[in-house]
A and B are shown apart, each in its own frame.
Chain A
Amino acid sequence: MKAPNFFQQTRRVFLGRTTQGLGAVALASLAGTPSVQGAPALGVLGTLPLPQKAKRVIWLSMAGGPSHLETFDPKPKLGEMDGQPMPESFTKGQQLAQLQGQKLNCFGPQHAFQKFGKNQTEICSLFPQIGSVMDDICLVRSMTTDAINHDPAHMFMNTGSQIAGRPSMGSWVTYGLGSAAADLPGFVVLTSLGKGGQNQPIAARQWSSGFLPSRYQGVQLRSKGDPVLYLGNPAGVNLEQQGNDVEAINALNRQHAKLVDDPEIATRIAQYEMAFQMQASVPELMNVTGETAATLELYGCQPGDGSFAANCLLARRLAERGVRFIQLYHKDWDHHGGIKEGVALKAQEIDRACMALITDLKQRGMLESTLIVWAGEFGRTPMSQGGSGRDHHNKAMSVWLAGGGVQGGLVYGATDELGYAAVEDVATVHDLHATMLNQLGIQHDAFTVKFQGLDAKLSGVEGGKVLKKVLS
């Protein structure tokens, strides 16, 4: 059945109001006073101050804290020192998680490294598929973070703060830029489980809009049940009947609006339209049967299997539909023990999928306008934990970027010879956020919202810096 056709009209109502007073809209949404939050896909920034290299972001969150030493940071010296005490000069007075106060021994890399790409970048041999697209990847080996436990570290990576209640980066970006997706949320989150049994919990606050209006919160797409919560009609109600009800609700709301001049009613009407459209557009998005066999094979997934690979395919479909910020969580990277087998299992789950996402976007001419970020919430210690694992570690981690105007094939920054701390071109989470915003055309230190008296920014009060060297 065709959707009732007054969406356009209510859009105009909104736009009419905004042209009367942009300031009023900003004020309303910030003050928490009755506001026009059903705005169309325009962000608050309007004309952008910087060239927009990336139109959207796909952020691959490797939850649990991947070891840089078994993924992207080769440390032969650490292998040589395997089993020997960790030199105290590295660790004295440092913040450790579970290893605090314990005897610290070096633990050599558990897998071989191999050279890939035109610059012969060395990465772990478990990731040959990622290696095959190394020329599209900018590897940052000098990332650091402030937090050392999962929950605060995720919060820091997502919001730039360890205190709950701040907006996540996806919310910031959609708040600033809006979204080109007419009938999908602008910020979408997908999660997948690993098979290793270390699936750390992830709180919904990780995609919360914090003090920004709720319409910028991330919407989780689920692989089982309703893909969006409450998306399905009640049993015994078909699409046409649902449409009839939505039409009646909006008709009565319009009649009411004639009696009381309340702009919230126009917004409410638009949101019922949007909700009804989502009831068709989301299932269409989730239905990958139209994808070619070649594409499915590229990703190596079965439609609807809920795997990381399936989510990567959905990420591409979301990107095509104009969704601004797509965040994928893949869990099970918390290798306190059994890291050798654990990382090998993770590699099976993500290696091909990451390559496929980059390749697929590239084939469709979308890689340049899509910034892909691969990052955990922290790295892991070069010291052994229990003889077979590594503890949480915030002084060194590896992340990589692709597309979106970053330099493929580049390695940025370095850790010391044991992989304990970033020492060259040390980068922070604030820097990463600043760089991402920069590529989206946003001047990160001017993108602020007043919160508790402060000009709150994603890139932190102290301010991050754009990692200029990684940009092409």
Chain B
Amino acid sequence: MKNSVLPFLLALAGLAAQASAAVPPLGKVEFNRDIRPILSDNCFHCHGPDQNHRKAKLRLDVREIALEKKAFIPGNTGESELLKRLVSTDNDELMPPPESNKKLTPDQKETLKRWIQQGGEYQAHWSYVSPKKETTAPARQAVDELVQKRLSAIGLKPSPQADRRTLIRRLYWDLLGLPPSPAEVSAFLADTAPQAYAKLVDRILESPHFGERMAQGWMDVVRFADTIGYHSDNPRNVWPYRDWVIKSFNENKRFDRFTLEQVAGDLLPDANQESRVGSAFNRLILSTEEGGAQPKDYELRMLTDRVRAIGAAWLGQTIGCAQCHDHKFDPITARDFYSLGAFFADIKEPILGKREDGMILATPEQERQLAKLDGVLADAKKKYDAILPQLDAAQKNWESDPAALAASLPELAKDSKATAVDKKTAQLASAALKKEEKSRSAKDKKEIQTYFRTLGTDLFVNERDALTRAEKERLEYYQPLTKCLVTVGAEPKRVVKILARGNFLDDTGEVVKAALPKYLPQPKIEGREPTRLDLAQWLVSRENPLTARSVMNRLWKQFFGIGLSKVLDDLGAQGEPPPNSALLDWLACEFMDSGWDVKHMVRTIVSSDTYRQVSTASPELAAADPYNRELARQSSFRVDAELVRDNALSVAGLLVPKIGGPSVKPYQPERYWENLNFPVREYPADKGESQYRRGLYTWWQRSFLHPSMLAFDAPSREESCAERNRSNIPQQALVLLNDPTYVEAARAFAARILSECKGDAAQRISWAFECCLQRKARPEELTTMQALLEKHLAAYRADSNAASLLLQTGQAPTPEVLDKPELAAWVHIARVLLNLHETITRA
């Protein structure tokens, strides 16, 4: 389209991102790096893997077919149809067709020409072939070696190493998500041993907060949330899974085992309570309790949800596209899609309506107690069953009694003091008794029986009471026990059919069995249908080219702000071939060679010189590599939503560093949930220590995520999210300025400043800077802050009532010894510090 700049911008964006493809490459054109992105984006839609949408029977993703159809003649640019079509002046001939709104840049055309000139060679798609490990120096230096190799090839030089204060702050953000204390900073600054940094890394990796930090990203890709997602968005029991993830990272559980437990924790030969909790992964889908929902509709939604999650969390593939048709860009067929879905057809679960409570996670003592109560209940039930024939006989007599038939049961009398429940029971029975005996439904009979057995007789009081008591005691003990939705397999499996265009009403599709995607290497499984365990083992098999790459690419992003391949959720044709593919391959191989050792990989990356560079760029470097794709420096970026909170609470001294437990409810604006219904919901903010937990533990309401989290781009987790937005919007300012959590944090921080630092105002301001930013205040900062302090002090001295009001925000107590106007003024100093860009930025 001529007049719109958007397609142009987007085309430009796509190209600029692939630095190497922005201009025709010097020297040898490489298919994966230079050609596939152009063909995929502009041609594969009609000349790619999707056979139903293929035009002129031509596919350009397979060289043999392209040659057979004479799309191009290697070495002969003059006779190559493909090139002619690109420049045709006939709109019927021109490719891509004008109505597609796609257009190649002159540079792209030149690149294609040069490629054909050089023989038009293809390469298998980079991420579908096994990663190769380049021979390098010891693992410790491999990252640097591969980065520097690339840098010297493109003529860039690495940046200097960051100072220690920056490094410790960076490590704490990246590995723990919490700020270091001033004491920890001083200790590190003072440690002159050559191994000081390595020691620091080791110490940090042993912190129990490491698991929390690592869990955060995993929660996003598996879309962990406390609620079901659709419509009423009611709660479900899954939080033990979150704790399982934290524990797994802390214990450095091998990533392959971590995978097996999630996909097939119930099917493992050594399945146990822990592995079953891991299998809650399969239950993290969206579900509905809406009245008019169609089972077939939601059966399909649940299947597709699971397939998309496997694609996103492990494979880095946008498999979801193949729900309706063969994938347009990658060789994923609709058959592959539904065959993957069939792996989950054994999962026992309601398609519609409320989820079950889930597996009880009891301690041995609780298990004993529950077994005891079950025993008491069984015993009471047995005795009760024994008296039933006599009770039934008595009921028959009672029913034949004219007084009873009149159905004016005593509970219904005007002056009756019966409980509401008993009255209801009597009403139902009375209504049923009024009917002719033969016209009573089974339900009517049941109502009469219930009335008689609970209220209508004096017979066997002991037996009946014993049963009621046993039931009540068991329920009271059961209810508060921890439970978790887990995977339970059951026969028969649901039948899975290929649905044309994803239409669940079309029942004519072919039935498929569980099978692994045909375009990827796979094990031989003969004589039986593969199971979820086979799927899990395949995900983490040495032959699978995707999983290790995809996981390492995301890990890299955690430490550099951007993946080695920029598109985290798509390693396929429409993703980005990594500019430094040797590095991603090395990491993937090392990950597998090390026995899927996550801590080893973390240590390897953060120990590199590459990681330790400064994040500031010289103007030349910024111009040459504006998005830091080449790693000639570190990156700086705003931290994730949870860490914004964790940092403020930690600096304020309010943070309760407890690990795990049920999700918590921080302060939230009133009526924020007013649009939820069935039932209408209250949001009681937690009291006491639950109010001061890390952001990771915030109650995750999918349809109304906590607004402070949302403002800082935490995802709703309705879909898998490999990459959060990183926005910079006014709502973030409003949250940090006015959310009671942050006002209270400022108040507590101010109290700390006054209680823990006994100096003059300047010394106290400087102390606060060290607390919050791990650095000293600069003179101009001191001036700004002192002037601000004086202004506020004067105002609160004049209006001590306002001071009292400000100090009442939040539940945390205020030390009585502090002067209120003075404390109130310092709240503002603390508040300004908590609001600074630097405070919420990892550099």
Contacts and interface: CB of A to CB of B under 8 A. Distances in A.
Contacts of B318: 452-453
B738 A232 contact: yes
B530 interface: no
Name, among A208, A214, A235, the residue most crowded by chain B CB atoms within 10 Å (CB to CB): A214
B442 interface: no
A201 interface: yes
B10 A203 contact: no
Interface residues of B, number: 123
A34 interface: yes
Interface stretch (A137-145, A262-270, A364-372, A426-434): A262-270
A249 B4 contact: no
Nearest to A50: B3
A202 interface: yes
A381 to B, nearest CB: 11
Interface string B486-529: 00000000000000000001000000000000000000000000
B374 interface: no
Contacts of B669: 225-226, 229-230
Contacts of B719: 163-165
Interface in B773-815: 778, 780-781, 784-785, 788, 791-792, 795, 802-809
B16 A23 contact: yes
Given A150-B231, A204-B703, A260 B616 contact: yes
Nearest to A226: B669
B561 A33 contact: yes
A30 B7 CA distance: 13
B808 A445 contact: no
Contacts of B320: 163, 452
A214 B703 contact: no
Interface string B804-831: 1111110000000000000010001001
Interface stretch (A95-103, A345-353, A415-423): A95-103
A121 to B, nearest CB: 31
Interface string A17-36: 00000111011101111110
Contact of A261 (B330, B617, B804): B617
B837 interface: yes
A244 interface: yes
B576 to A, nearest CB: 9
A236 B824 contact: yes
Interface string A137-173: 0000000000011111000000000011100000000
Interface in B388-432: none
Nearest to B809: A234
A27 B17 CA distance: 7
Name, among B40, B808, B835, the residue most crowded by chain A CB atoms within 10 Å (CB to CB): B835
Contacts of A262: 636, 841
Name, among B505, B569, B704, B733, the residue most crowded by chain A CB atoms within 10 Å (CB to CB): B733
Contact of B728 (A97, A236, A251, A267): A267
B573 interface: yes
A270 B136 CA distance: 47
B230 A151 contact: yes
B778 A255 contact: yes
A237 B737 CA distance: 11
B376 interface: no
A382 B130 CA distance: 58
A454 interface: yes
Interface in A218-275: 219, 222, 224-226, 228-238, 241-242, 244-246, 248-249, 251-253, 255-256, 260-262, 264-265, 267-268, 271-272, 274-275
Contact of B575 (A225, A233, A256, A453): A453
A95 B792 contact: no
A34 B637 contact: yes
Contact of B5 (A45, A236, A454): A45
Contact of A231 (B734, B791, B808): B734
Contacts of B707: 229-230
Contacts of A33: 561-562, 566, 627, 726
Contacts of A110: none
A235 B7 contact: no
Given A225-B670, A256-B838, A274-B730, A446 B637 contact: no
A235 B725 contact: no
A26 B619 CA distance: 21
Contacts, number: 316
A392 interface: yes
B751 to A, nearest CB: 15
Given A150-B290, A245-B788, A235 B806 contact: yes
A336 to B, nearest CB: 8
Contacts of A276: 733
Given A230-B737, A252-B781, A268-B837, A214 B727 contact: yes
Contact of A452 (B570, B710, B733): B570
A93 B678 contact: no
Contact of A164 (B231, B570, B716): B716
B784 A230 contact: no
Interface stretch (B171-179, B247-255, B292-300, B578-586): B292-300
A298 interface: no
B574 A245 contact: no
Nearest to A146: B503
Interface string B726-754: 11111111110111100100000000000
Nearest to A198: B677
B562 A236 contact: no
A204 B802 contact: no
Contacts of A447: 4, 6
A205 B716 contact: yes
A246 to B, nearest CB: 8
Contacts of A191: 674-675
B362 to A, nearest CB: 34
B828 A245 contact: yes
A237 B799 CA distance: 11
A251 B784 contact: yes
Name, among B232, B780, B837, the residue most crowded by chain A CB atoms within 10 Å (CB to CB): B837
A31 B627 contact: yes
A244 B13 contact: no
B734 A228 contact: yes
B292 A37 contact: no
A242 B792 CA distance: 10
A24 B731 CA distance: 25
Contact of A248 (B16, B505, B784): B784
A219 B734 CA distance: 13
B475 interface: no
B4 to A, nearest CB: 5
Contacts of B572: 453
B753 to A, nearest CB: 16
B292 A443 contact: no
Contacts of B6: 26, 44-45, 176, 446-448
B634 to A, nearest CB: 12
A112 interface: no
A452 B574 contact: yes
A38 interface: yes
Contacts of A253: 836-838
B672 A229 contact: yes
B768 to A, nearest CB: 12
Contacts of A200: 231, 677
12 contacts: A31-B17, A34-B726, A201-B675, A214-B711, A229-B672, A230-B707, A230-B737, A241-B792, A245-B832, A253-B836, A261-B617, A264-B638
Interface of A: 22-24, 26-28, 30-35, 37-38, 44-49, 93-95, 97-98, 100, 148-152, 163-165, 176, 185, 191, 199-205, 208-209, 211, 213-215, 219, 222, 224-226, 228-238, 241-242, 244-246, 248-249, 251-253, 255-256, 260-262, 264-265, 267-268, 271-272, 274-276, 278, 336, 391-392, 443, 445-450, 452-455
Given A275-B734, A336-B292, A452-B569, 4 more contacts: A228-B734, A236-B824, A278-B734, A336-B291
Instruction: Pick the 4 closest A-B CB pairs, nearest first.
Output: A453-B574, A236-B806, A203-B703, A97-B292
